[in-house]
Amino acid sequence: MITRFAPSPTGALHLGHIYAAKVAHDIAKAHCGHFHLRIDDLDTTRCRPCFTDAIYNDLRWAGLNWHGTVSFQSERHTHYAKAISQLRDMDLLYPCYLTRRELASMTQAPHGTPHGAPDIASPIVPINTDRLIPDSEQKRRAADGQQAAWRLRMDAAIKHANAHIQTHSQLNWREYALSADAGLKQATPEIFGDVIIARKDLGSSYHLAVVIDDMLDNVSLVTRGVDLQSSTHLHRLLQALLGLPTPNYLHHPLVTDSCDKRLAKRDKAQSIAALRNRGMSADTMMSILPALPDYESVGI
């Protein structure tokens, strides 16, 4: 059993992060497995080293010690680039020169959830964005040196995955949620439309990076908040296209405040550092976390 906690160092951790880390830590511990720490610092425009140090501090203070060396997305660009050229060689990616504003004015803008995952209830996302502006204009932008984002041609990608997937397996994953959602889940990546796989400013995207990371770190059970569950539909497709193993998944509930609002990094008063500075002990902090579900009962 190898689990992981993968925070982005874009702000101070709050109780929701400690809960997520504890789920991954405790499941690994119960199985004498490994709890891995990965720093998701792909987005260099938003990540700060001081927040990485604070992550180490908060986890150690909470008694959530990780195994082995920490991995960093910022050190894995060559792996991401290799996967992107693999997809490009398969003719599944195309450049998109449209700005966000142009795209929004030409299409119905997608609903925002973390990392641009579509809201499952209203899956309207752009497709074939290369057909929204004439070829000549795309060529002009390329000649001008404008950077392009690379989008997945979703219909071709799904066809390719289904044609190459082993006959006895399917585009699905095993979900260990503690609800009716548990069991084998059929991936429906088409909800993403022609999703961006390589951002023009970063050279990769969250989605591509995490599937490569989970493979590099040999993660066998991805535990993360239920807000990222829709992303798994796309991650499963990318795994199939790139020939990567599929881990199992457990999307856990999110920690909310007394008004039932999910905690946010921008609310500094709720950060772990703020609780510690107000004199709270680590034991007290752990005791106010929602109880961890009984994962044994769902077969983990």
Binding mask 32-61 for ligand GLU (x = CB under 6 A): --------x---------------------
- Contacts for 87 with CB less than 8 Å, ≥ 6 apart: 93, 152, 197, 241, 242
Distances (CA, A) of 142 to 26, 99, 106, 128: 50, 13, 20, 18
- Is there binding between residue 112 and ligand GLU (CB under 6 A)? no
**In the window 263-282, what residues touch ligand GLU (CB under 6 A)?**
none
Least distance to ligand GLU from the beta carbon of 5, Å? 8
Least distance to ligand GLU from the beta carbon of 3, Å? 11
Distances (CA, A) of 109 to 105, 112, 116, 192, 226: 8, 9, 11, 12, 23
- Is there binding between residue 6 and ligand GLU (CB under 6 A)? yes
- Contacts for 20 with CB less than 8 Å, ≥ 6 apart: 5, 223, 224, 225, 252
3-state SS assignment for residue 14 = strand
- Is there binding between residue 8 and ligand GLU (CB under 6 A)? yes
Closer of 194 and 213 to ligand GLU (Cβ):
213
Which part of the chain contacts ligand GLU (CB under 6 A), choosing from 6-14, 44-52, 60-68, 290-298?
6-14
- Is there binding between residue 114 and ligand GLU (CB under 6 A)? yes
Least distance to ligand GLU from the beta carbon of 296, Å? 23
Cα angle vertex 70, ends 66, 71, to 5°? 135
Which part of the chain contacts ligand GLU (CB under 6 A), choosing from 1-9, 59-67, 75-83, 122-130?
1-9
Closer of 6 and 208 to ligand GLU (Cβ):
6
Q: At what angle do helices 15-30 and 49-62 cross, to 10 degrees?
A: 60
Enter the DSSP assignment of 117. Answer: P
- Are 221 and 248 in contact, with CB atoms under 8 Å apart? yes
- Is there binding between residue 68 and ligand GLU (CB under 6 A)? no
Least distance to ligand GLU from the beta carbon of 117, Å? 10
Binding residues (CB under 6 A) for ligand GLU: these are 6-8, 40, 114, 210, 224, 228
